[in-house]
């Protein structure tokens, strides 16, 4: 049955290899079951329900990718998108979390439409490489400042806006130790380095009396507080244009880039075959569908995880790898008490480490070309400094188009970039947060 479903022999793999690959991928991305509920809980969402929604969304998305596309790529609520959901859409713009879920649903439907019509590939092809790299780096910096704030390493200051916290306090110290442990373990190729770092800091915090141990295993909590709670009508109001635009753009960059990158590493997609490979079309459709499903369950946008590359390196070549990940996320539902025990400063090292990895995208920017460098730098800088991914994207795309226009290089600007820049200009001209 497995052979007929996943064509294991054709891909030069077997059940044992795929199972190990699935376990490897799960261990490298399992931190999301602790981090995502904590981030979304800042909006007023029930943390236990979000924990369940996170596990179910990851399981469902990975299963769709595995069975339908037959690719070894796992899905889960995306880092960066959850921060935008919590800290910008709800925290800054004032939407309720129900309306924010409605915006995720709308963006998912648009994303699905863009995928089916082929516009998604046109958008990806039309966005400058430097800008794509800057967006990834900027989101990393945004996650970084969130992590530093949660750990108490960076605090508010009337004189300088931000300042260094009290590093001798337990939370900042443990967060930094957790970061060092994660970095060291990952360098030594230890599977599940981020997960080990989170659990290690949590255990120490329990012994020090900084966190109350709530148990390890129990019956999964109810998902009722978030299930089908999306408010689509509430999302359709002033400001929804930029919210949906940012969701769609980040989903386009993140998911598409991850899918293509991991598939190439697995030998499933050769250079130049992107427009003709039928499995890529199925993979794109799979991740688009997962976003819509996640909004019903009660979590921010679900996306393909770059950590899937670890499973590919372990030998994963078919959708069976993703299905194994899905099964493990379902098993994780029974660890809700452990998730509730993890303090914010224990997940901060994970956020900070992911931020550090995302910032390496800065090396792919063409710094010798001012018309590429300035918009890219603005994109990356404005995200953390205005606490908004939307503002970073807006400044980046508008400045890119205008600088190219003013330097007589307007032909270098793809129609997709003009479209996005125009939409953000409309947002600044007619909409206020």
Greatest mean pLDDT among 128-137, 150-159, 171-180, 381-390 lies in 171-180
* Any domain includes 424: no
Q: What is the mean pLDDT of residues 30-48?
A: 89
Instruction: Report the length, in residues, of the chain.
Output: 433
pLDDT in tens, 260-290: 767 776 777 655 544 456 677 777 788 788 8
Per-residue pLDDT band at 305 (split at 50, 70, 90): confident
Integer Cα distance of 247 and 236 in angstroms: 15
Integer Cα distance of 373 and 384 in angstroms: 18
- Decide if 329 contacts 58 (C-beta within 8 A): yes
Strand partners, 162: 156
* Any domain includes 70: yes
* Domain count of the fold of the chain: 1
* Any domain includes 272: yes
pLDDT in tens, 54-107: 999 999 999 998 888 888 888 998 877 888 889 888 888 788 899 889 888 988
Whether the pLDDT of residue 35 is over 90: the answer is no
Of 120, 424, 428, the closest CA to residue 275 belongs to 120
The per-residue DSSP string of 252-303 comes to HHHHHHHHHHHHHHTTSS-TT-TTT-HHHHHHHHHHHHHHHHHHHHT-S-EE
* Any domain includes 184: yes
pLDDT in tens, 171-207: 999 999 999 999 999 899 887 788 888 889 989 999 9
Residue 265 pLDDT: 67
Query: How many other C-beta atoms can be found within 10 angstroms of the C-beta atom of residue 106?
Result: 21
* Any domain includes 13: yes
In degrees and rounded to multiples of 5, residue 135 shows phi and psi of -60, -45
* Any domain includes 223: yes
- Decide if 351 contacts 147 (C-beta within 8 A): yes
Q: Which domain holds residue 92?
A: 2-365
> CA distances (Å), 415 to each of 119, 128, 418, in order?
12, 11, 5
Of 120, 80, 54, the closest CA to residue 286 belongs to 120
In degrees and rounded to multiples of 5, residue 177 shows phi and psi of -60, -40
* Any domain includes 74: yes
Out of 6-10, 213-217, 237-241, 424-428, least confident range: 237-241
Q: What is the mean pLDDT of residues 17-34?
A: 83
Whether the pLDDT of residue 241 is over 60: the answer is yes
- Decide if 247 contacts 78 (C-beta within 8 A): no
User: Which residues 6+ apart lie within 8 Å of 133 measured at CB?
Assistant: 361, 362, 364, 365, 376
Query: Left (φ > 0), alpha (ψ -120 to 50) or beta: where does 312 sit?
Result: alpha
The H or E element that residue 101 is part of is: helix 97-117
Q: Model-level pTM? A: 0.76
Residue 87 pLDDT: 85
Residue 433 pLDDT: 46
Query: How many other C-beta atoms can be found within 10 angstroms of the C-beta atom of residue 37?
Result: 28
pLDDT in tens, 334-389: 887 887 788 888 888 887 888 888 888 888 888 999 999 999 999 999 988 888 77
pLDDT above 90 covers a percentage of the chain that reads 20
Whether the pLDDT of residue 141 is over 60: the answer is yes
Residue 277 pLDDT: 62
Q: Which residue has the higher pLDDT, 5 or 50?
A: 50
* Any domain includes 139: yes
């Amino acid at each position: 049955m497995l052979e007929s479903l996943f064509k294991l022999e054709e891909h030069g793999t077997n059940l044992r290899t795929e199972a190990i690959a699935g376990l490897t991928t799960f261990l490298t991305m399992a931190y999301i079951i602790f981090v995502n509920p904590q981030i979304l809980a800042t909006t007023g969402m029930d943390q236990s329900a979000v924990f369940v929604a996170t596990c179910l969304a990851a399981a469902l998305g990975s299963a769709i990718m595995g069975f339908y596309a037959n690719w070894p790529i796992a899905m889960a609520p995306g880092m960066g998108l959850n921060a935008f959901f919590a800290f910008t859409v709800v925290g800054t713009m004032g939407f309720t979390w129900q309306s924010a879920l409605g915006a995720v649903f709308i963006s998912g439907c648009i994303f699905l439409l863009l995928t089916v019509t082929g516009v998604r590939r046109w958008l990806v092809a039309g966005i400058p490489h430097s800008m794509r790299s800057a967006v990834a780096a900027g989101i990393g910096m945004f996650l970084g400042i969130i992590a530093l704030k949660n750990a108490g390493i960076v605090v508010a200051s009337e004189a300088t806006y931000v300042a260094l916290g009290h590093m001798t306090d337990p939370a900042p110290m443990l967060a930094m130790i957790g970061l060092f442990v994660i970095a060291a373990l990952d360098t030594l190729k230890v599977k599940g380095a981020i997960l080990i770092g989170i659990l290690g800091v949590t255990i120490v915090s329990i012994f020090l009396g900084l966190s109350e141990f709530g148990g390890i295993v129990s019956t999964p909590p109810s998902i009722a507080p978030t299930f089908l709670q999306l408010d689509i009508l509430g999302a359709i109001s002033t400001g929804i244009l930029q919210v949906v635009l940012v969701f769609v753009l980040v989903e386009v960059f993140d998911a598409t880039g991850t899918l293509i990158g991991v598939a190439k590493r697995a030998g499933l997609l050769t250079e130049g075959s992107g427009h003709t490979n039928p499995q890529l079309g199925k993979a794109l459709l799979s991740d688009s569908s997962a976003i819509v499903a996640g909004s019903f369950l009660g979590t921010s946008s679900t996306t393909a995880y770059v950590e899937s590359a670890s499973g590919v390196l372990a030998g994963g070549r078919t959708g069976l790898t993703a299905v194994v990940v899905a099964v493990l996320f379902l098993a994780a539902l029974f660890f809700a008490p452990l998730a509730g025990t993890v303090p914010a400063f224990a997940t901060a090292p994970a956020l900070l480490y992911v931020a550090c990895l995302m910032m390496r995208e800065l090396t792919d920017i063409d710094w010798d070309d001012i018309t590429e460098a300035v918009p890219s730098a603005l994109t990356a800088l404005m995200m953390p400094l205005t606490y908004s991914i939307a503002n970073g994207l807006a400044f980046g795309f508008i400045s890119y188009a205008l600088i190219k226009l003013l330097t007589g290089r307007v032909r270098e600007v793809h129609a997709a970039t003009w479209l996005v820049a125009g939409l953000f200009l409309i947002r600044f001209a007619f909409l206020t947060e």
